[in-house]
Structure 1
């Protein structure tokens, strides 16, 4: 992880004759880019960059909304398609665009600039299933069957962005009524709920010593397993389970903050995040796909199966209904209600 620090950051392409001052960048806790890439950028002008990590993306946006009268940042990275409607409705973003790079088809955010995208889906522990000689589930409905009792761990959508993404995928895939009926069956079949991704993946997932061989994670997780492994692996120890209604496409973006003190420097940072240096680095730093078309990927991404389809509710529905969906999920899964 990229530790919070204050760096000198250059404004590539900016026609500044004096120092632009401090550029405050608000991000979620997973923001990470190599220091040398930021150092290359800093040499071209003398803006002082303050990276402010504010927890998960939801916490980050809430802090931005609470401080909109006196913004705590000039530019924000990490607002995704589950949150962009809320951000726009709250009026905390300055409409932002960039002329740098051509976006991958279908990858955009209204009012912000797409930086990366990825997929939330189920991962499985290949060795566990081979040892137990249990066939992989072929549908979400299979997960509610006795053969898969007590095998799945998910993240709480009220406290976890992948948990929320997975809930949204099930709603888009099964319809609202069908999704919550399925979640009730899953509850009765022993689904475990973790607070966040780290707890689910590193504590409950059987690959890491837990008892659950199926976990809500990311399509790039198998590639990350190979990348970070101490031994040289020829294949990933985990695999994606891309079930219909169980895949969500997440798009993350960057935008200028309304009322920010350094709009010119903020625009330069937006363009930097779309530039080749950042786009080439982010896949193996944040394990997302670059939003700019034509960027080459590290060879380790051969272990990351990119889904051909995803189940996403419409942006308007996510803006207006997500809070209600999360409340209903909590009643159904955690409180055994309706």
Structure 2
């Protein structure tokens, strides 16, 4: 099997033009480099160099291998550098935006877990509405963050991780006995959270877009700032609200509140956002990796919709 060491020898010989120069570059003897390349040629029954004259010349097979070899070696070097950076994390500040409903996505202990692993790193986790997280990442105030889509994606790289269905929640089982339709919402006593952000909130925005397309006007009876307050009102029978599946699975979800899906399913898509073409600091890159793995693990373990093809790697 082809090894990284063989590919390094091949690349060094290709760029330097001789096995002697390649040996000096790699800290190996000329015979060692020559033997590494020879084994690569024997393994594939192909000549990679024309060995005539004073300088090595790539054959057609060598020309074909060169870009692939460079890609593999650069990838291995990048992985090594990343591991060295993580092993050497001894300070700095990790800045990361998290969902305002972070406890429902098992993110509430993220700071503690990160601190235990990297005790000398200052951690700045900012819980905001997704629109503000996206704006903060775009402006550089935060390096990265988790958001619910849709958000304005100008100058952002958006990496969807998990799709979580949004449900209708009520303490009156008659109002959850069948799927909720957009047309039926105005007849229900509607309670919505994220009052400060209003219809710019991504989940509410999706709901509003559907209502507009159906010719329906949505006017909440009560608006509060956080989901806990909304669920408390729902549990007391004051009105109904919308919640993601992750919320209903949490121990904080009130007993006696029932849910039903929308007739046309509605989803929150959780995504990782970074500034386009920006390189994350090692500390924030590691924090983002931990947050991403938490979301993917939740998706896989709790059975929420796994339609987005992102593996936990």
TM-score by length of 2: 0.54
Residue in 1 that maps onto 2:238: 211
Residue 148 of structure 2, aligned match among 56, 61, 80: 80
Tell me what 2:83 maps to.
14
Show the counterpart of 2:301.
Answer: 296
The aligned runs of 1:139-178 (5 Å cut-off) are 139-145=181-187, 148=188, 151-155=189-193, 159-160=197-198, 164-169=202-207, 171-172=209-210, 176-178=212-214
Q: What is the CA deviation profile of residues 16-50 of structure 1, one whole-angstrom value per residue up to 9, with x for unaligned ones?
A: 374464133231444434256325543xxx76142
Report if the CA contact (8 A) 2:93-2:123 is conserved. yes
SS in 2 for 1:196: coil
How far 1:182 moved relative to its partner?
1.1
* Larger relative contact order (Cα-Cα within 8 Å, sequence gap ≥ 6): 1
Q: 94, 99, 114: which one pairs with 1:38?
A: 114
Displacement after TM superposition at 1:194 (Å): 0.6
For 1:15 and 1:308, locate their aligned partners in 2 and report how far apart those are by CA, in whole Å.
33
* Structure 2 CA distance for aligned equivalents of residues 194 and 308 of structure 1: 31
C-alpha distance 307-200 of structure 1, shift in aligned 2 (>3 A): farther
Using the alignment, how far apart are the partners of 1:257 and 1:26 within structure 2? 16
Taking a change above 3 Å as real, the CA distance of residues 33 and 197 of structure 1, as seen in their structure-2 partners, is closer
Contact 2:167–2:259 at 8 Å: present in 1 too? yes
2:288 corresponds to which of 258, 265, 270 = 270
Shift of 1:215: 0.9
Is the Cα contact below 8 Å between 1:80 and 1:250 reproduced in 2?
yes
CA distance in 1, matches of 2:121, 2:176: 55
Residue of structure 2 equivalent to 1:120: 166
SS at match of 1:182: coil
Which whole-Å CA distance do the structure 1 matches of 2:203 and 2:136 have between them? 21
TM-score (norm 1): 0.51
- 1:198-250 CA distances to partner (integer Å, 9 max, x unpaired)? 37624532x1x3511x21222233322xx2379xxxxx532322122462332
Instruction: Name 1:322's counterpart in structure 2.
Output: none
Task: Name 1:63's counterpart in structure 2.
Answer: 136
Q: Point out the structure with max Rg over C-alpha.
A: 2
| Uncovered stretches (5+) of structure 1, i.e. residues with no partner | 1-11, 94-110, 231-235, 284-289, 310-338
1:244 alignment partner, one of 255, 259, 263: 263
**Which whole-Å CA distance do the structure 2 matches of 1:161 and 1:144 have between them?**
16
Gaps of 5+ in 2: 1-80, 308-313
Q: Contact (CA 8 Å) 1:124, 1:215: kept in 2 or not? A: yes
Asked whether the equivalents of residues 22 and 49 of structure 1 are also in contact (C-alpha less than 8 Å), the reply is yes
**Structure with the largest fraction of helix:** 2
Alignment partner for residue 125 of structure 2, among 49, 52, 57?
52
Distance 1:36 1:61, change over 3 A: closer
Whether the 8 Å CA contact 1:121–1:166 is kept in 2: the answer is no
Are the aligned partners of 1:116 and 1:253 in contact in 2 as well (CA < 8 Å)? Answer: no
User: What is the Cα-based RMSD across aligned positions, in Å?
Assistant: 4.1
Instruction: State the alpha-carbon separation in 1 of the partners of residues 199 and 117 from structure 2.
Output: 30
The number of equivalent residue pairs is: 221
Q: Distance in 1 between matches of 2:243 and 2:96?
A: 24
